[in-house]
Structure 1
Amino acid sequence: MASSSGNVESTMRLLKDFLAKLGFEMYPLKIGWYNTVLPPSLQLPYSDDTLAVVVLSTPDMFEQAFLPFMESVGCHGVSDPIDQCVKHYINSAVLQCFPDQKVDVSYDYEMLPSRKPKFLAQTAAHVSGGAFYYQQTDVTDHPWGKKKMFGVCVHPKFGGWFAIRSLLVFGGVAVGSELVQPAPPDCVPSREARIQLLEEFNLRWQDWTYRNIVPPTRTYSQKQMDYFGTPPPQRSALLRSWGFLQGKDSQLVLDTLCEPQLLVNGHG
C-alpha cells in the first residue's frame, strides 16, 4: 500500500479539477474515522488508514451537470436519470484521473445482497467534515418518546439544499497523521433548532422547510425544484416537456422514494 503526504493533496486536486466545475464537492477521510462510529456489521472492509473521498452534489449540479448530461448523453434503461448522470461523471473522473489505481466506487443508492446500503452516506459526510449529521441522540431530553426520528445532514453553506452521492475508496493508498479529522460544522447548535430540524424533516419533508434551517448561500433553481418536486413516476413526462427522453429514451421507470431520508442521501 502506497503512502506519502502528497497522496491526499494530489488526489483531491485531480478530483476537484474534474468535478468541481460540474457542481460537486469532495471531502477526504480515513476509513478508520468511518468504521469507528459504526458497529462491525456496517463497517467497510479496509484498513483504518485507507484513503477515501465522499462526493456531495451542490445546488449547481443540476444546471452544470444534469441538464448538459441529458442534452448530450441522455438516459438509457430503467434507472433514475440523476443516478445515471452522477455515475457517468464520477466514473469518468476516476477513469481519467486514476487510470492506474484501484478505486472502489459506491453510490448512495446501491445496496448489498443483504439489502444493507453499500455505505452510510450521512455518516461518511459527517466524519469527513463535509456536513453535520443531526440525529435524535443529538437532542438532549428530546420530546418524541419512543418515536423514531430519522437523522438528516445539514451543510454549512447550503443547509439542506445538497445531496450525498458517492464514496471513493483508494484501497492502495494509506494516509498517516498528515490527514487530521475535521469536526463537521455544527450549524444547528441549539436544542430548539435541532428539534425544529428533525420535526420538519420527518413530519413535513415534502415542503422542504428543513432545508432552510440555516440561511443557505444558494438553493435549488426553480427548474430543479420543479424536477425534484415532481413525483418520480411523472418525471419522465416532465423531462419530455423539456425536450429530453425522445424515442427509446422515453421508456423510463423512475425509482419511487418512499423513505424521507432518501431525499438527502442522493435523490434531491
Structure 2
Amino acid sequence: MAASIDNMESITGQLDNYLSKLGFEVYPLKVGWYNSLLPSSLRLSFPDDRLAVVVLSTPAMFEQAFLPFMEQKSCRGLSDPIDQCVKHCVTSAVSQCFPGQNVDVRYDYELLPSRKPKFLAQTAAHVSGAAFYYQQLDVTDQPWAEKKMFGVCVHPRFGGWFAIRALLVFGDVQVGAELVQPVPPDCVPSREGRIKLLEAFNFHWQDWSYRDIVHPVQTYSQKQREYFSTPPAQRVALLRTWGLLPSEADPPDATADAQSQLGGHG
C-alpha cells in the first residue's frame, strides 16, 4: 500500500513511543537509499520505495532495558544476553504496534548462509541520517599507505557511545518523494580529526577513546562499562555475581559477540 508522510510518521512514531523508553532510537529510510550504495550481493530484496527503520541503542538501554530483562529471568539458551534483550524489545514493539503487518526484522548479529551480514548496520545508520559513517575514503592524503582501515559511525549526541541493533523493513509500505534523504551530521569534519578517529578505532578500540571523538551528552554507566569491558566468555560469570543469572546458566556465544565488536556492538 502507498503511504503518505503522515502514515510513515505514524509508523515511526509508534515505534519511537514504544522503544524510546527502553533506551532506543529509530530513524526511517528508504530501501533504495541503502541499496544504492551496495553491490547487488548485499542489497535488500525489496523495492526501492519501501519503508525501512534502523534501530539504535543509546547508553540508557543498559539500565532501562537490559538489566530489567535480566532481572525478569528472561535470558535463555546459548546466545548473547544483550542480543536476546534487543530481540525481545524489538519483537515486542513490532507485535504490539503492527500486528499482522509484513515487517522483516534483521539484527546486527545475524548472518546469511553465505556468512555475509543480514544488513550492513553502519551503512543503514548513515543513509538514515542517524550517524555519520566515517570511512577510509573520507580522509584525503591518507597516511596509511595500502593498509585497510575499518570505518566507524559517530552519533551527533552520543559520539561512539551507542550501537546499531536492527533494521526493520515494512514490505507493504511504499513511501514517495516526500521522504527526503537526510544528510548525517558531520561531527568530525577535519582531516586531522578523521585520522584520529580511524586510528583510535582500528588500533586502540579496546580503550574506547574513539567513542569520545565528540563530546557526548551521555556515556555508558560504570556498570555498563564493566559489562562490555569483560571478555565475552566471562560475562556469564559477571552476571552471576550481580545475581542476574542462576549458577547453572548456559554461557553466551562468545564468537557471535566478538564478530560484532568492530561493528560497534556494545
TM range (shorter): over 0.9
Matched to 1:263, the amino acid is Q
Are the equivalent residues in 2 in contact too, given 1:19–1:93 (CA < 8 A)?
yes
**Residue in structure 1 matched with residue 253 of structure 2 by the alignment:** 254
Q: Distance in 2 between matches of 1:138 and 1:208?
A: 21
Q: Distance in 2 between matches of 1:16 and 1:158?
A: 18
Deviation at 1:39, TM superposition (A): 1.0
Q: Distance in 2 between matches of 1:52 and 1:36?
A: 14
Deviation at 1:253, TM superposition (A): 2.9
Q: Aligned to 2:254, what secondary structure does the other structure show?
A: coil
Are the equivalent residues in 1 in contact too, given 2:24–2:56 (CA < 8 A)?
yes
Q: Distance in 2 between matches of 1:130 and 1:70?
A: 28
**Residue in structure 2 matched with residue 157 of structure 1 by the alignment:** 157
Q: Distance in 2 between matches of 1:188 and 1:5?
A: 31
Instruction: Structure 2: state its 5+ residue gaps.
Output: none
Deviation at 1:34, TM superposition (A): 0.2
After superposition, what is the alpha-carbon deviation per residue over 1:18-65, rounded to whole angstroms, capped at 9, x for unaligned? Answer: 100000000000000000111111111111110000000000000000
Which structure 1 residue ranges, 4+ long, deviate > 4 Å from structure 2?
none
Are the equivalent residues in 2 in contact too, given 1:104–1:169 (CA < 8 A)?
yes
TM-score with structure 2 length normalisation?
Answer: 0.97
Are the equivalent residues in 2 in contact too, given 1:235–1:254 (CA < 8 A)?
no
Are the equivalent residues in 2 in contact too, given 1:149–1:198 (CA < 8 A)?
yes
Q: Distance in 2 between matches of 1:55 and 1:111?
A: 18
Matched to 1:65, the amino acid is A
Are the equivalent residues in 2 in contact too, given 1:108–1:266 (CA < 8 A)?
no
Deviation at 1:177, TM superposition (A): 1.6
- Write out aligned runs for 1:7-26 (5 A): 7-26=7-26
Matched to 1:226, the amino acid is E
Q: Distance in 2 between matches of 1:185 and 1:5?
A: 23
Are the equivalent residues in 1 in contact too, given 2:28–2:128 (CA < 8 A)?
yes
**Residue in structure 1 matched with residue 4 of structure 2 by the alignment:** 4
Could you say what the CA RMSD is over the residues aligned between the two structures, in angstroms?
A: 1.1
- Write out aligned runs for 1:78-89 (5 A): 78-89=78-89
Q: Distance in 1 between matches of 2:10 and 2:205?
A: 39
Are the equivalent residues in 1 in contact too, given 2:73–2:244 (CA < 8 A)?
no
Deviation at 1:152, TM superposition (A): 0.2
Q: Aligned to 1:13, what secondary structure does the other structure show?
A: helix
**Residue in structure 2 matched with residue 213 of structure 1 by the alignment:** 213
TM-score with structure 1 length normalisation?
Answer: 0.96
Q: Aligned to 2:187, what secondary structure does the other structure show?
A: coil
- Percent identity for Structure 1 against Structure 2: 70
Are the equivalent residues in 2 in contact too, given 1:55–1:165 (CA < 8 A)?
yes
Q: Distance in 2 between matches of 1:88 and 1:172?
A: 23
> Aligned pair 1:127/2:127, yes or no?
yes
Are the equivalent residues in 2 in contact too, given 1:162–1:264 (CA < 8 A)?
no
Q: Aligned to 1:116, what secondary structure does the other structure show?
A: coil
Instruction: Structure 1: state its 5+ residue gaps.
Output: none
Q: Distance in 1 between matches of 2:75 and 2:184?
A: 35
